[in-house]
Amino acid sequence: MHAQGGQRSAEAFQLLADRYQLAPLPVLDSHEMVDVAHPWGEPKRFLRVALPSTMGYRTGDHLAVLPRNPEPLVHRVAARFGLDPEATITLAAGRRGLPVGIPVSVRQLLAEFLELRFPPSALSVGRLVEHTRDDAERRELTRLAGLEREEFRRQVTAQERSVLDLLEQFPSCALPFEQYLDLLRPMRVRSYSISSSPLVSPHEADLMVSLLDEPHRAGVGTYTGVASEFLQRTEADDVLHGKVVRCQESFRLPDDASVPVILVCAGTGLAPFRAAVADRTVTPGGTLLLYFGCRHPDVDFLHRAELEAADAAGVVSLRATFSRAPQDGMRYVQHRIAREGREVWGLLERGAHVRVCGDGRHMAPDVRAAFRELRRDHAGGSEEDAVAWLHELMTSGRYVEDVWAG
């Protein structure tokens, strides 16, 4: 590794763009969608990007975007290794995805090419042991490296402890910078559901991005999502790099627009369903129910005016629920589905399809439970019968989820 004074290398960045087949996407609009001054308001960014003429998309597709590590994190790493972020280095070797043989600044290498927050493996922790001088620190790192898989997951991976976190916790570890790079994964793209309709905006794509910013699971400081933080800082006239990623075909709405559809989402899970509603403003169809959950109608009711206008026009039947302002005890979407069970069951008996998008840790399982309860209430049978019924809906493509774990 050779170091000298340096600047950002377009040649090095092009390696990333070529690796993931990314195109430049000029940002046309970027603004906050939520009243973040309110105690219940958590940042959610609206982004609109221009697509190249060769990049088309369909409703339900995702946009994969290449993020960048935040400056404070980059400086933490540079400081830990005593490096000047402006110094230029040339890697003589490295894993696929790194700019080997191309002069690149320390800042650019750390910001653009590496997953600085990715948790280490037990083998990686073992590598730290080899370079740790303090006996007590060596013993603790040895203990971590020797944990059984599930216990290692609980104490390290699930705690979102990065290699950097361990290096800061065990300061006597003199791991060389080149070996630190070997323990990291190359930066990867993140995918977000496109919230615009190609029938309305074929050369533009809209995104809705929630900022992941929460107390660190290890109990020290906060944990902020790399991509969501990067997009939160993105402004109009910036340029992102990304590509369209097709969604699973079964998640798209039925080709026959007369088939009833029940859409269920919360927060930014609204994205693909906003696009579906926009489609229906151009090409009308049959019954479209949209169950949407947020905290409060005056705080984070995303695209409220647009959705209420579509509801008033008969394009969609909007069924909103508010966890901090419940109506008739309905705090979450599953509560309203249960309350309106007779109507929902009637649509299912007519062959309705169900699409669910959003949080896969809490919301999606609760919605599944609500539909199983509908089956028991309206068709009888045991819980096992309801499980089998829902499984059949899923395998036949009538009940499809596009969810993520928070």
Q: What is the pLDDT of residues 169-184, one digit of tens each?
A: 999 999 999 999 999 9
| Angstrom distance (rounded) from CA 297 to CA 304 | 8
Q: Residue 88 belongs to a domain with what CATH number?
A: 1.20.990.10
Enumerate the H helices of 146-211 as residue ranges: 149-152, 163-169, 177-182
E strand or H helix at 244: strand 239-245
How many angstroms from the chain centroid is the CA of residue 59?
18
Over range 217-242, report the average pLDDT.
81
Residue 15 banded pLDDT, cuts 50, 70, 90:
confident
171 and 256 together in one domain: no
Over range 232-249, report the average pLDDT.
96
Q: What is the DSSP string of 364-378?
A: HHHHHHHHHHHHHHH
273 and 162 together in one domain: no
Sign, Cα dihedral of 48, 53, 58, 61: negative
Does a structural domain hold residue 235? no
Over range 144-168, report the average pLDDT.
95
Contact of 143 with 170, CB cutoff 8 Å: no
| Angstrom distance (rounded) from CA 345 to CA 317 | 16
Residue-wise pLDDT for 70-85, tens only, equals 999 999 999 999 999 9
Is the pLDDT at 211 greater than 90? The verdict is: no
Over range 193-206, report the average pLDDT.
98
Beta-carbon contacts of 37 under 8 Å, excluding residues fewer than 6 positions away, are none
275 and 378 together in one domain: yes
Over range 294-301, report the average pLDDT.
96
Residue-wise pLDDT for 322-376, tens only, equals 999 999 889 999 999 999 999 999 999 999 999 999 999 999 999 999 999 999 9
Contact of 40 with 233, CB cutoff 8 Å: no
Does a structural domain hold residue 256? yes
Which of 58, 57, 85, 55 lies closest to 72 in space, CA to CA? 85
| Angstrom distance (rounded) from CA 185 to CA 287 | 46
The neighbouring-strand residues paired with 374 are none
317 and 395 together in one domain: yes
Q: What percent of the chain has pLDDT over 70?
A: 95
Over range 134-161, report the average pLDDT.
95
12 and 113 together in one domain: yes
385 and 300 together in one domain: yes
Q: How much is the pLDDT for 213?
A: 56
E strand or H helix at 155: none
Q: Of 124, 158, 182, which residue sits at a domain end?
A: 182
315 and 396 together in one domain: yes
Q: What is the DSSP string of 250-289?
A: GGSPPSSTTS-EEEEEEGGGGHHHHHHHHHHHHS--S-EE
Does a structural domain hold residue 27? no
Residue 100 banded pLDDT, cuts 50, 70, 90:
very high
307 and 399 together in one domain: yes
| Angstrom distance (rounded) from CA 274 to CA 197 | 8
168 and 253 together in one domain: no
**Mean pLDDT, rounded, of the chain:** 93
Residue-wise pLDDT for 32-41, tens only, equals 999 999 999 9
Residue 219 banded pLDDT, cuts 50, 70, 90:
very low
378 and 301 together in one domain: yes
Q: Which two tokens stand for residue 176?
A: 């060389």
Q: Of 143, 165, 182, which residue sits at a domain end?
A: 182
pTM: 0.92
Q: How much is the pLDDT for 216?
A: 43
Residue 224 banded pLDDT, cuts 50, 70, 90:
low
Does a structural domain hold residue 348? yes
Residue 199 banded pLDDT, cuts 50, 70, 90:
very high
Q: Residue 311 belongs to a domain with what CATH number?
A: 3.40.50.80
- The total domain count for the chain is 2
Does a structural domain hold residue 360? yes
Does a structural domain hold residue 217? no
Beta-carbon contacts of 33 under 8 Å, excluding residues fewer than 6 positions away, are 44, 45, 46, 208, 300, 302, 303
Q: What is the CA radius of gyration of the chain?
A: 24
Residue 280 banded pLDDT, cuts 50, 70, 90:
very high
Contact of 174 with 133, CB cutoff 8 Å: yes
Is the pLDDT at 222 greater than 90? The verdict is: no
Does a structural domain hold residue 290? yes
Q: How much is the pLDDT for 217?
A: 45
Over range 106-134, report the average pLDDT.
96
Q: Of 127, 156, 182, which residue sits at a domain end?
A: 182
Contact of 330 with 291, CB cutoff 8 Å: no
253 and 177 together in one domain: no
261 and 369 together in one domain: yes
Does a structural domain hold residue 35? no
| Angstrom distance (rounded) from CA 262 to CA 290 | 6
- Owning domain of residue 400: 249-404
